């Protein structure tokens, strides 16, 4: 990261963090400084190893955190397995056969339980692992306030209804994010998470066959061999086919060329104000990185459980 970028980036995010932490007085970046000083290095080393072995993992960890926070807040409910007495969120349509990275979180939790038993929440692991996954994909960093606790419940219905759809139009996306307290501008910045990762044919089939007016024809044809009109639902394609494993601003450059893979990606240029923001990010990766990091700070602080709420799970997949 260049020194020039740092000069631009630091003051704006510090101001935002001061506001955010004031609203979550029980969260602090130093929450584990005395009770588990190894926390940061354990998470960072594990994520670095995971991304080194599987370049998609940075995107997978980021998506896990997003799908957690958008359903009843950042409480690690997305990690819970189904049991006879609890229905988790993993089988919700947006999550089923889609979310991944659970084993990385399990490994981090196992290491932390050996180093600092009963101290670090799964929700905090998710928040920091998402940040570190972006960093390991050459993206920006941000300071994560800590002290979240883990839920003892999950919401399958919330996971079905609250997560934005890949087929959403712009108004739908703005509405979905507004319900969580985000502006349209923050939604456009957070959509840049699609600069890394892959998605299934099932989710972009309609776009590549039925949206001729908003998709580059060469791009559409290039995808059709691996995503036929019938069958191949789980075949994968990169969300950014230029630099699929590098966190950069190519996602927005793709949108300028009608090469957004999902309908919910390309729709960002369907209105003048959001299109102007897309153009700005396509021109300046520093601006995108800054705005994305600021929005991720807000994302990671959605309705956390703190104090005596919830619990610190010993195993992220089940309540104590």
Cα dihedral across residues 164, 9, 243, 213: positive or negative: positive
For the CA atoms of 233, 234, 237, 238, what is the dihedral angle to 10 degrees? 130
Helix/strand/coil (H/E/C) assignment for every residue in the chain = CCHHHHHHHHHHHHHHHHHHHHHCCCCECCCCCCCCCCHHHHHHHHHHHHHHHCCCHHHHHHHHHHHHHCCCCCCCHHHCCCECCECCCCCCCCCCCCCCCHHHHHHHHHHHHHHCCCCCCHHHHHHHHHHHHHHHCCCCCCCCCECCEECCCCCHHHHHHHCCCCCCCHHHHHHHHHCCCCCHHHHHHHHHHHHCCEEEHHHHHHHHHHCHHHCCHHHHHHHHCCCCCCCCCCCEEECCCCCCCCCCCHHHHHHHCCCCCCHHHHHHHCCHHHHHHHHHHHHCHHHHHHHHHHHHHHHHCCCCECCCCCECCCECCECC
Q: Which residues are catalytic?
A: 67
Rounded Cα gap, residues 66 and 58, in angstroms: 13
């Amino acid at each position: 990261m260049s020194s020039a970028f740092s000069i631009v980036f630091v003051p704006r995010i510090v101001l935002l963090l001061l506001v955010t932490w004031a609203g979550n007085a029980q969260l602090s970046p130093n929450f584990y400084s005395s009770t588990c000083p190894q926390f940061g290095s354990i998470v960072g080393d594990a994520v670095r190893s995971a991304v080194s072995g599987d370049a998609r993992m940075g995107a997978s960890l980021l998506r896990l955190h997003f799908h957690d926070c958008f359903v009843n807040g950042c409480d690690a409910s997305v990690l819970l397995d189904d049991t006879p007495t609890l229905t988790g969120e993993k089988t919700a349509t947006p999550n089923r056969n889609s979310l991944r990275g659970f084993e990385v979180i399990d490994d981090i939790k196992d290491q932390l339980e050996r180093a600092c038993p009963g101290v670090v929440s799964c929700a905090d692991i998710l928040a920091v692992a998402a940040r570190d996954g972006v960093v390991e994909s050459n993206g920006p960093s941000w300071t994560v306030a800590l002290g979240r606790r883990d839920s003892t419940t999950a919401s399958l219905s919330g996971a079905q209804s609250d997560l934005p759809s890949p087929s959403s139009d712009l108004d739908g996306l703005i509405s979905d994010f507004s319900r969580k307290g985000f502006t349209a501008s923050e939604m456009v910045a957070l959509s840049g998470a699609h600069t890394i990762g892959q998605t299934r044919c099932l989710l972009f089939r309609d776009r590549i066959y039925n949206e001729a007016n908003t998709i580059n024809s060469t791009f559409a044809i290039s995808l059709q061999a691996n995503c036929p009109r019938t069958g191949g639902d789980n075949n994968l394609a990169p969300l950014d086919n230029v630099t699929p494993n590098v966190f950069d601003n190519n996602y927005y450059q793709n949108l300028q060329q009608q090469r957004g893979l999902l309908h919910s990606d390309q729709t960002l240029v369907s209105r003048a104000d959001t299109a102007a923001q897309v153009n700005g990010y396509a021109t300046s990766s520093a601006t995108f990185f800054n705005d994305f990091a600021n929005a991720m700070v807000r994302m990671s602080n959605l309705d956390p459980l703190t104090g005596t709420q919830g619990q610190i799970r010993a195993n992220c997949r089940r309540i104590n």
